[in-house]
Amino acid sequence: MNTRCPCLNTVVICSLALALVVVCGCWASAQAEELSPASSDLEEWGEIDLPPVSGSVKISRTLEGPRLPTRPEPDLGGVTWKVWGQLQLEASWQKDKDSQGKTAYSDRASLATAEIFGELKPVSFIRLYGHLLHEEGDSGINLDEGFVVLGQVAAFPGYLMGGRVYPVVGIFESYMVSDPITKDIFETQAIAVTAGWSGELLQASLAGYNPEVRRAGEGGSFYETYLLRAQLSLPPKALGGLKLGLGGSYTNNIAASGFFEEQVPGQRLDSLVAGFSLSLAAEYGPLTLLGEYIRSDPFCAGELDFAPPGSSPQPWAFNLELSWALAEAWRLTGRWEGGGDLYEEAPDRQGGLCLSWSPWPYLALALEYLHGEYSDGARQDLVTSQLSLIF
C-alpha cells in the first residue's frame, strides 16, 4: 500500500536555518583569531575525497560527510579558489547468455568520465561549487552540479546548501570500477535546499527538492518531496582503532531517482511512494567494509513500465564490499550485491573482484570482473579495465 506523507513546511525551516547560519557564520568569522590551531581555517576548507577507482564524484553528497583537514590554499585578496578534474578511460569485454541459452559477446573502449570541478570561497562561511561532467553516452558537457553552501565552518558545523545537487538518498560509495546497483537504481539529482549539521560525530540533514515525478494533478509543489538523513561516526579511540559509521535516510518520494523518472508513465503517481536506506562503513587497519540497503514502498500496478502488468513491485537493492589495502599502492576489493522486483533491469545477484594499483598519487589502474544472474535465468560476465587520473 502506498504511503501518502504530509508536506513539511520546509520553506519556514530553511528560512530559520539561513538566518541561523548567517548569524553563526559572522560570529565564527569574528572569533577566528581565538580558535586553537587545531580548529583553524584549514578544517573548514576541507578537501574533497576523490577515490581514484570510482564513477563520477558528486560534491554535494561528499560535503555532507565529515570534513578533513587539508593544505592552505592561495589567498587572492581574501578570496580563495581551486579547480580540479578527473578523467577515466575504460576498456571492457562482455559475455551475455539469455534465458534461452543463446550467447553473445561484445567489447568496447570509451572515455567513461571527464569532469571539471570548481570551488570559490569569497568569505569564510560562503562557498560556491560548479561541476561540469561528460559521461559515456552524453551528447555534450552537462552542468552536473551548481550550488552554494553557507556555514559549515570550524566553529559552527551547521550549514545551508541550495542549488542543483544530489540529495543523499544513499551513500553509493565503492572501491570498484562499476557503480553498485544501489546507485544505478536509486541515485537522485534535483534542485534542492538542504539544512544540515556536519559535526565530527553526527551528520544530519533535512532537504526539500523538486523532482520530475509528482502526484497526479500537482502543478509544481517544490517542497512536497523531502528527505531526512542522519549518520553517526564513532571515534576510532572509542572502539580500539575501529572506525565505524552508521547511517540512514528516508524520503517520501523514492521515484524521484533518475532511473525511476524514466519508468513512471507521464512522471505522475496517484500517491507518492516512500523509501528508506541503511548504511554501514567500517575500517580497521588495511580492511574496509561498506554495506548499504535501500527499499521502496510498493508501487501500484502500472506505475512502473518495466514491471509485469498487474504486479505491484517494491524495488530494493543492497551492496556489500570488503576492500583490502594489500600494500601502499595496491588494493583488492570484493563485491556482493543484488536486488528484487527489478526484473531484467538489474541482476538479482552479482559478485566480483577488483584489483587496483596507484603508482603515483591521483593515478590508478584497475582491473575488475563481475558475474551477474537475472531473475529470468539470464547471465552476464563483464571484465573492465580502467585508467583514472585526477588532476
SS3 of the chain? CCCCCCCCCHHHHHHHHHHHHHHHHHHHHHCHHHCCHHHCHHHHCCCCCCCCCCCCCCHHHHHCCCCCCCCCCCCECCEEEEEEEEEEEEEEEEEEECCCCCEEEEEEEEEEEEEEEEEEEEECCEEEEEEEEEECCCCCCEEEEEEEEEEEECCEEEEEEEEEECCCCCCCCCCCCCCCHHHHHHCCCEEEEEEEEECCCEEEEEEEEECCCEECCCCCCHHHEEEEEEEEEECHHHHCCCEEEEEEEEECCHHHCHHHHCCCHHHEECCCCCEEEEEEEEEECCEEEEEEEEEECCCCCCCCCCCCCCCCCCCEEEEEEEEECCCCCEEEEEEEEEEECCHHHCCCEEEEEEEEEEEECCEEEEEEEEEEECCCCCEEEEEEEEEEEEC
> What's at 186, amino acid-wise?
F
Q: How do 275-284 and 225-234 pair as beta strands? A: unpaired
Residue 2 included in any domain: no
Residue 17 included in any domain: yes
Name the β-bridge partners of 121: 80
pLDDT of residue 222: 62
pLDDT of residue 361: 80
Domains of the chain: total: 1
Residue 289 belongs to domain spanning: 10-390
Q: What is the CATH number of the domain that holds 266?
A: 2.40.160.10
Residue 5 included in any domain: no
pLDDT of residue 17: 46
- CB contact at 8 A, 188 and 198: no
The C-alpha atoms of residue 95 and residue 193 are separated, in whole angstroms, by 43
Residue 336 included in any domain: yes
**Per-residue tens of pLDDT for the chain, all 391 residues:** 444 444 444 444 444 444 444 445 545 444 443 333 333 332 333 344 444 566 777 888 777 765 433 333 444 455 688 899 999 999 999 999 998 989 999 999 999 999 999 999 998 899 999 999 999 888 889 999 999 999 988 889 999 999 999 998 988 889 999 999 999 999 999 999 999 999 889 999 999 998 888 888 755 566 789 999 999 998 777 788 899 999 999 999 999 999 999 999 999 998 999 999 999 999 999 999 999 999 999 999 999 999 999 999 999 999 999 999 998 899 999 999 999 999 999 999 999 999 999 998 889 999 999 999 999 999 999 999 999 998 8
Residue 57 included in any domain: yes
pLDDT of residue 32: 42
Q: Cell for 76?
A: 587572492
Q: Cell for 48?
A: 574533497
Q: How do 268-269 and 214-215 pair as beta strands? A: parallel
pLDDT of residue 94: 96
Q: Cell for 86?
A: 578527473
Q: Cell for 272?
A: 507518492
The C-alpha atoms of residue 75 and residue 130 are separated, in whole angstroms, by 20
Q: State the Cα torsion 29-31-32-34 to the nearest 10°.
A: 180
